[in-house]
Amino acid sequence: MTDKVAAIQMASGPNVGANLIEAGRLIGQAVDAGAKLIVLPENFAIMGMKEQDKVEVREEDGKGKIQDFLAQTAAKHKVWIVGGTIPLVTSDPKKVKAACLLYNDKGKVVARYDKIHLFDVSIEESGEKYNESSTIEPGTETVVVDTPFGKLGLAICYDLRFPELFREMIDKGVEIIALPSAFTAITGKAHWKPLIRARAIENLSYVIAAAQGGFHVNGRATHGNSMIVDPWGNILNHLQQGSGAVIAEIDRDKLISTRQNFPALKHRIISCRT
């Protein structure tokens, strides 16, 4: 059984309304190409001038401009949408959850994943400093959900560097990993492609990696190179820079046969038990 899927690449700015219009346009491109599962990038609705900007546009779980857009768009096109990240309220008025919501083809939320690993780093080469924990409250639970395309796991950007998260997904039966991201230009150039291929190969899973890609109003540059990778690590399609929709077919029967013929995941379970 094959299905077309899409990774949306954007260069989002500080205006939520403008970003939603652009996301809608790109989702429309993906729908026209036949995609039934569409993944938006991290921070698709806002890349603010400062980190606190996303707190200012935070939404209650279940209502708000961004969530209404995703629900209505999924229902309109009869597609499943992985809603990148959405700033949702927490008990701390100075912080949000970086929430990734999965909408079904009726526009209903069927899963929510809150970003676990927060990007608190300094990049010596460029002088960039990031401190996501100052405005984001981390999640605690891995998420894998049944979909018509297979068992879908949700992860976000910096999560990619922590293989143990994806091993927890394997324990929950994951077959496809959706990875909304906004890798920096420098870290992306060094690590993006090898990390995505590694997660696909070691977990014998498809990876749909949707990235921010380009120069942003706030002066930040993101790596882009959104891609869809198969369980053998082959890059099925990618987009280096700029806005667009990366389309590819995923084949669940191929995934199953690959795991049967190369049963590394079963070997891992046996070795862990002995």
Of the candidates 174, 236, 225, which has an alpha carbon nearest to the alpha carbon of residue 202? 174
Q: Give the β-pairing of 80-82 and 37-39.
A: parallel
Catalytic residue among 4, 22, 132, 157: 157
Q: Is 42 a catalytic residue?
A: yes
Catalytic residue among 42, 132, 137, 175: 42
Q: Is 115 a catalytic residue?
A: yes
Catalytic residue among 95, 97, 115, 151: 115
Query: Is the Cα dihedral 179, 180, 185, 186 positive or negative?
Result: negative
Strand partners, 2: 251
Residues 6+ apart with CB under 8 A from 9: 26, 41, 210, 211, 212, 213, 224, 226, 239, 242, 243, 244, 245, 246
Active-site residues, by number, are: 42, 115, 157
